Chains A and B, each alone.
Chain A
């Protein structure tokens, strides 16, 4: 029989991501509280009254902020215990939450070299423009095209193409325009029935399903306590549906 230590298994990568996210959220809450406390100080109030932006900015900067780079490095280190999608999940978390050029470059390099087929890459692609801004120009240039050309995963390719299409659109010569239309048609085909498909389809959904006088589409989800419920549970009542948050 193996000794207990060797039998012990790694927790699922998802659990590690949840723990890291909980730690990040905790630091964000502490940071918000610290900033709120600064706003109440005599020094801050006075500077604010005098319109002295330099002083108010400096006072705010001195307040605690989340250690996103530290957490990013922690995620990278944790990733070493995992392979495949699990590893990519942690790498992507590190890049997205830290927004640190060094971490982002490490993550993008590894993804482009080894993980082009992992669906987890789409999480990174959702933020492709802010992520690629942190890369060296040469890498930034090939980031999306390497994925489009190299991946065997249709959903990953759809996301990368969608982000590329967003770029070409701004160029807009007639030729580029027809290329854009062609590309969007292929993306729609690849992304049908996915979250990206819904994102692309949203303007049509709003026009065809969400106008005044139309029967409201149902929402099936859960509340903040994890209890499942539906918008249609409230049929028979007047409902104000409010998309909101404290942030």
Chain B
């Protein structure tokens, strides 16, 4: 999962694109060590000390991890749980929409 996300962030670094996480590691020290070791540079909301039972994932009814939402520039949910090439295609489609306007 991380290699794809790393290359995604790299490929789109000059585009109007952001990868944002909701991170559910209860231990921030562990998170920062792993983030460093895995080249995780993107920003995440912290889901709090209760980990996967934190307030954001509770409200959003998250039952499986990872769960992915792809949101367009207007703030509309356009895709859910797309991975790999499917995710790339979804993002490219939404980036093209911005260009058209």
A→B interface (CB under 8 Å):
21-22, 25-26, 28-29, 32, 126, 195, 198-199, 202-203, 205-206, 210-216, 219, 221-224, 229, 231-232, 234-247
- Supposing A28-B30, A205-B59, A205-B61 touch, asked if A236 and B73 sit within 8 A by C-beta, the answer is yes
User: Contact at A210–B58, with CB atoms within 8 Å?
Assistant: no
Q: Find out whether the CB atom of A229 lies under 8 angstroms from the CB atom of B43.
A: yes
Count residues on chain B whose CB falls below 8 Å from chain A CBs.
Answer: 63
B-side contacts of A206, CB under 8 Å: 60-61
Known: A28-B27, A224-B46. A238 touches B17 (CB 8 A): yes
With A29-B29, A212-B79 given, is the CB distance from A238 to B61 under 8 Å?
no
Quote the shortest CB–CB distance from B54 to chain A (angstroms).
9
Q: Assuming the A-B contacts A221-B46, A237-B73, are A244 and B22 also in contact, with contact meaning beta carbons closer than 8 angstroms in the complex? A: yes
Evaluate contact between B56 and A242: CB separation under 8 angstroms: no
Main secondary structure of the interface of B (DSSP, over half): mixed
Contact A242 B20, CB 8 Å, known A202-B59, A224-B28: yes
Chain A residue at smallest Cβ distance from B58: A199
CB distance A245 to B25 under 8 Å?
yes
Partner of A238, one of B21, B59, B67, B71: B71
